[in-house]
């Protein structure tokens, strides 16, 4: 048993149903009910949540259908009966909207498995839909192009009508005939075109009378000259109607012959419409998906009654082993609203609806009972008290666990002492039977029992002592006070009455009220401390989240930097390889040019260029390794360069490095590996450490070239025995010429100047 009527679940159903897009969805949602099957409940919630996510990222489903769609679908079940043109157009538009919905879901991909699973089975009706739209316009008019025969018949009709109208207009404009007419207009009677002839001139105009005016002064006469044309028109109109019926039946049968595919489309449209309505309702009330528990935990934080315009959020909490929540507090403080909110949330959750709360955890109940308000039955001659007792007896008889029992002002309507005792016994009875019980009460005896009983939580709606008004906030651990006398005073009760009421309180009652006041004050203090702790926790969480976000951002930026750095290094590597290839090609060209001289061909070591290329590429690999591990290499930026001085270590271009030994104006003399060369001062770059590209430089001391280029030196080694000096003293002329020629050849091959 689910107390849908008492908890006004029907109002929720009305609000959700109003969001349907089709009559199919409207019909399904109007019968929306909570389920007691946990599997169905969980699946329904998953569908709602997935649809909420879909609508957050995509437009509303293009699903649409007119209110007369059910009539069109029912008409398909009658064999041999064509649908009306508007019904066919309505059916075609509906099927097309389902197909568009299917395409929209499939484009979204695998992120929405529930929706994708629904629309996968939708079959295509493109041929049928296209045929209807070609034959019938949106207004329901069958178009000439619906068939060649219809086009021909309508063409003949237009010609015949034009001819008939011309003949009749001759009568209206003719001098001899116009005087017999009541009015010079052509009208229609019984499907035939006629003239309005004065009754007294009936004998002057031959023809067939098809009726007369109310006064009898005017006859609607079909001239004899137009009878044959009218007959032709009537015949063509009959044939046109037959052709239209044939077309409509043919179009109808195309749908009628696919009942299984149509049934799938109907079901998919219904299911999608229900899901989108539930999802849009969730967005409207700012709802969340509740978590269903296997135990008796019930946790509603920041719960807002969905039917109130400006509801005050309330926390309804019951954790095992507690199974009873007693809510106390002043009148108009919000007790009944909290009770209804808890019950309504259970029904909404089990109907697949999201609930408006900050957090929601609750079981799937097999029964939700509610005894709320004045249920007095005049027909049954029951008093308020009797009505409540009758409800409680029915609850006990139909109880099925897990169950939620909601009792509003249990035990009222009779003597307070007996009512309090009865209320305590009723709550205890349902608790012992295993139900979750939420009850509101004003009885001090019930409050006292709750405070001293294990498994019972007592909470009270706070009351602002300064403004003397309810705060609508539920404070746990506080027994609360009814504040009936205080409320009466606030509402204007005479002071004499208030004073008398206080005087009638017994000493025990006064002591109890004072004790409850102290407990309320302590509870308010604890609540204030709890609120402060929650505020501090939120601030901490926000700070922690911000730090996490910044850390993630820095990590992402670091990854981007590394990626860009590697791209720069890769580009430098490619440029270095291009430079090496260019140098090797130049060396080969020089070698080939020298090889043309037969006297030098024998002196050329053909393996030297290949060895040079291998050595150059090895150097590049070592450079790349240094670039990718900056800790073992140099900076990406070159050191600052100043003007060279005598003794400076300089780079002289083409990968050569040396020491300046003299400067003469804009010319400098440089020692390069024991050989002297001259270069312009402006072409020199001062370096302050051994070159990474000089032969023999160790791998751990290599520097880097300027950004954008990596310089690589290629050392084509001279043949063994190359001399830096040549002494020909004591040689004959032939011996001296031979020695000098050989040394010059070797030095030319190594490009020594």
Look up residue 21 and give its two tokens.
């897009």
Q: Are residues 430 and 301 in the same domain?
A: yes
Report the Cα–Cα distance between both ends of the chain, in Å, rounded: 109
656-664 and 667-672 as β-strands: parallel, antiparallel, unpaired? Answer: antiparallel
Helix (H) / strand (E) element for 621: namely: helix 608-628
The pLDDT score that the predictor gives to residue 96 is 95
Alpha-carbon distance of 609 to 590, in angstroms, equals 11
- Determine phi and psi for 687, rounding to 5 degrees: -125, 155
Sign of the alpha-carbon torsion through 650, 656, 660, 666: negative
User: For 48-81, what is each residue's pLDDT tens digit?
Assistant: 999 999 999 988 888 988 888 999 999 999 999 9
192-198 and 181-189 as β-strands: parallel, antiparallel, unpaired? Answer: antiparallel
Look up residue 76 and give its two tokens.
């398909």
pTM above 0.95, yes or no: no
Residue 362 contacts residue 355 (beta carbons within 8 Å)? no
Q: Are residues 179 and 305 in the same domain?
A: no
Alpha-carbon distance of 564 to 549, in angstroms, equals 22
Alpha-carbon distance of 200 to 218, in angstroms, equals 9
The overall average pLDDT reported for the chain is 81
Q: Are residues 280 and 298 in the same domain?
A: no
Of 447, 482, 517, the residue that ends a domain is 482
β-sheet with 469-476: strand ranges across: 367-371, 403-407, 436-440, 324-328, 456-464, 469-476
291-292 and 675-680 as β-strands: parallel, antiparallel, unpaired? Answer: unpaired
Alpha-carbon distance of 749 to 599, in angstroms, equals 13
The pLDDT score that the predictor gives to residue 504 is 66
* DSSP assignment of 669-702: EEEETTEEEEEEGGG-EEESS--TTSTT--GGG-
Residue 408 contacts residue 371 (beta carbons within 8 Å)? yes
Residue 99, helix vs strand vs coil: helix
Q: Is residue 688 part of a domain?
A: no
Q: Running along the chain, 753 residues long, what does each successive block of 10 average in pLDDT?
A: 89 97 95 96 97 92 88 91 95 94 89 93 94 94 94 94 83 70 76 81 77 81 83 91 96 94 95 97 96 93 92 91 90 83 97 97 96 56 74 92 94 83 94 95 87 89 66 74 66 78 66 64 70 84 88 87 82 78 72 57 47 56 55 44 82 76 88 80 71 40 42 47 66 70 60 51
Beta-carbon contacts of residue 512 (< 8 Å; ≥ 6 apart): 444
Alpha-carbon distance of 318 to 22, in angstroms, equals 41
Of 429, 463, 482, the residue that ends a domain is 482
Residue 495 contacts residue 486 (beta carbons within 8 Å)? no
The pLDDT score that the predictor gives to residue 379 is 42
Q: Are residues 328 and 424 in the same domain?
A: yes
Q: Hunting for tokens 């969980």 — which residue is that?
A: 42
Residue 198, helix vs strand vs coil: strand
Q: Is residue 281 part of a domain?
A: yes
Q: Is residue 251 part of a domain?
A: no
Q: Are residues 266 and 184 in the same domain?
A: no
Nearest to 51 by CA among 406, 262, 352: 352
Residue 63 contacts residue 266 (beta carbons within 8 Å)? no
Q: Are residues 200 and 73 in the same domain?
A: no
C-alpha distances (whole Å) from 450 to each of 82, 323, 326, 425, 430 are 71, 11, 7, 12, 14
How buried is residue 399: exposed, middle or buried, by Cβ count under 10 Å (0-12/13-18/19+)?
Answer: middle
Q: Is residue 154 part of a domain?
A: yes
Q: Is residue 242 part of a domain?
A: no
Look up residue 549 and give its two tokens.
């976000």
The pLDDT score that the predictor gives to residue 11 is 95
β-sheet with 192-198: strand ranges across: 181-189, 192-198, 218-223, 207-212
Tell me how many domains the chain contains: 4
Residue 199 contacts residue 219 (beta carbons within 8 Å)? yes
Q: Are residues 344 and 464 in the same domain?
A: yes
Q: Is residue 640 part of a domain?
A: no
Residue 352 contacts residue 490 (beta carbons within 8 Å)? no
Nearest to 336 by CA among 478, 439, 483: 439
**Per DSSP, which regions of 634-674 are E strands?**
649-653, 656-664, 667-672
Alpha-carbon distance of 442 to 436, in angstroms, equals 20
The pLDDT score that the predictor gives to residue 649 is 87
Sign of the alpha-carbon torsion through 20, 26, 28, 34: positive
Q: Tell me, what DSSP letter sits at residue 205?
A: S
Alpha-carbon distance of 568 to 573, in angstroms, equals 9
Q: Are residues 466 and 317 in the same domain?
A: yes
Q: Are residues 194 and 45 in the same domain?
A: no
Identify the CATH number of the domain in which residue 370 sits.
3.40.50.300
Look up residue 367 and give its two tokens.
């029964």
How buried is residue 426: exposed, middle or buried, by Cβ count under 10 Å (0-12/13-18/19+)?
Answer: buried
- Please state, as a whole number, how many other Cβ atoms lie within 10 Å of the Cβ of residue 734: 8
Between the CA atoms of 506, 511, 512 and 518, what dihedral angle is there, to the nearest 10 degrees?
A: 150
Q: Are residues 162 and 209 in the same domain?
A: yes
Q: Which value, in Å, is the radius of gyration of the alpha carbons in the chain?
A: 50
Residue 466, helix vs strand vs coil: coil
Q: Give, in degrees to the nearest 5, the angle at Cα 218 between 217 and 221.
A: 145
Q: Is residue 32 part of a domain?
A: yes
Prior bond of 321 cis (ω within 30°): yes
Look up residue 291 and give its two tokens.
């978590």
Q: Is residue 501 part of a domain?
A: no
Alpha-carbon distance of 264 to 270, in angstroms, equals 10
Q: Are residues 95 and 166 in the same domain?
A: no
Residue 658, helix vs strand vs coil: strand
Q: Are residues 262 and 325 in the same domain?
A: no
Residue 171 contacts residue 195 (beta carbons within 8 Å)? yes
Residue 31 contacts residue 66 (beta carbons within 8 Å)? no
- What domain range includes position 742? 718-753
Nearest to 750 by CA among 532, 600, 572: 600
């Amino acid at each position: 048993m689910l107390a849908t009527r008492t908890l006004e679940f029907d109002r929720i159903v009305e609000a959700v149903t109003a969001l349907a897009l089709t009559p199919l969805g409207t019909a399904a949602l109007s019968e929306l009910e909570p389920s007691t099957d946990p599997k169905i409940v969980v699946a329904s919630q998953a569908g709602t949540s997935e649809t909420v996510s879909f609508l957050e990222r995509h437009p509303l489903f293009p699903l649409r259908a007119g209110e007369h769609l059910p009539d069109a679908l029912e008409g398909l079940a009658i064999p041999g009966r064509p649908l009306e043109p508007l019904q066919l157009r309505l059916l075609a538009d509906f099927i097309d909207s389902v197909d568009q919905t299917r395409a929209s879901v499939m484009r979204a991909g695998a992120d929405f498995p529930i929706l994708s699973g629904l629309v996968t089975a939708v079959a295509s009706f493109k041929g049928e839909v296209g045929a209807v739209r070609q034959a019938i316009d949106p207004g329901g008019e069958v178009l000439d192009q619906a068939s060649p025969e219809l086009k021909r018949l309508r063409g003949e009709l237009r010609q015949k009508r034009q001819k008939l109208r011309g003949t009749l207009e001759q009568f209206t404009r003719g001098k001899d005939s116009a005087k017999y007419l009541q009015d010079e207009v052509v009208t229609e009677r019984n499907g035939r075109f006629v003239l309005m002839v004065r009754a007294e001139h009936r004998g002057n105009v031959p023809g067939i009378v098809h009726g007369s005016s109310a006064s009898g002064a005017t006859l609607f006469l079909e001239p004899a000259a137009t009878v044959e044309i009218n007959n032709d028109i009537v015949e063509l109109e009959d044939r046109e109607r037959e052709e239209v019926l044939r077309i409509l039946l043919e179009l109808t049968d195309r749908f009628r012959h696919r009942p299984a595919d149509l049934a799938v489309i109907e079901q998919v449209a219904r299911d999608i419409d229900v899901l989108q309505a539930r999802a849009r309702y969730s967005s409207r009330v700012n709802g969340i998906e509740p978590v269903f528990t296997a135990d008796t935990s019930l946790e509603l934080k920041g719960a807002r009654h969905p039917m109130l315009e400006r509801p005050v959020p309330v926390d309804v909490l019951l954790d095992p082993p507690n199974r009873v929540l007693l809510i106390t507090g002043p009148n108009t403080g919000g007790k009944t609203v909290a009770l209804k909110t808890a019950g309504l949330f259970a029904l909404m959750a089990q109907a697949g609806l999201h609930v408006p709360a900050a957090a929601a955890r609750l079981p799937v109940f097999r029964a939700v009972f509610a005894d709320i308000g004045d249920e007095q039955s005049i027909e049954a001659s029951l008093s308020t008290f009797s009505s409540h007792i009758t409800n409680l007896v029915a609850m006990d008889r139909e109880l099925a666990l897990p169950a939620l029992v909601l009792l509003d002002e249990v035990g009222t309507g009779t003597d307070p002492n007996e009512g309090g005792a009865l209320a305590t016994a009723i709550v205890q009875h349902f608790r012992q039977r295993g139900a979750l019980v939420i009850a509101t009460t004003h009885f001090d005896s019930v409050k006292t029992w709750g405070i001293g009983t294990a498994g019972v939580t007592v909470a009270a709606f706070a009351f602002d002592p300064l403004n003397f008004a309810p705060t609508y906030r539920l404070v746990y651990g506080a027994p609360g006070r009814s504040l009936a006398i205080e409320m009466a005073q606030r509402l204007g009760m005479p002071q004499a009455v208030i004073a008398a009421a206080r005087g009638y309180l017994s000493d025990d009652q006064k002591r109890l009220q004072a004790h409850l006041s102290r407990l309320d004050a302590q509870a308010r203090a604890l609540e204030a401390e709890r609120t402060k702790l929650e505020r501090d926790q939120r601030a901490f969480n926000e700070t922690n989240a911000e730090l996490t976000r910044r850390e993630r951002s820095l990590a992402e930026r670091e990854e981007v930097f590394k990626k860009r750095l590697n791209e720069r290094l890769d580009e430098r590597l490619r440029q270095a390889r291009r430079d090496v290839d260019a140098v090797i090609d130049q060396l080969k060209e020089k070698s080939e040019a020298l090889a043309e001289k037969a006297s030098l061909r024998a002196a050329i070591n053909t393996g030297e260029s290949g060895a040079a290329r291998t050595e150059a590429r090895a150097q590049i690999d070592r450079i790349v390794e240094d670039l990718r591990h900056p800790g073992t290499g140099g900076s990406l930026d070159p050191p600052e360069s100043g003007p060279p001085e005598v003794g400076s270590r300089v780079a002289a271009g083409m990968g050569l490095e040396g020491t300046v030994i003299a400067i003469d104006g804009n010319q400098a003399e440089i020692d390069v590996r024991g050989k002297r060369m001259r270069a312009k001062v402006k072409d020199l770059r001062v370096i302050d450490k051994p070159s990474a590209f000089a032969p023999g430089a160790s791998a751990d001391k290599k520097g880097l070239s300027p950004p954008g280029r990596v310089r690589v030196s290629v050392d084509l080694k001279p043949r063994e025995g190359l001399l830096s000096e040549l002494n020909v003293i004591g040689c004959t002329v032939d011996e001296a010429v031979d020695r000098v020629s050989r040394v010059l050849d070797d030095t030319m091959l190594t490009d020594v100047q």
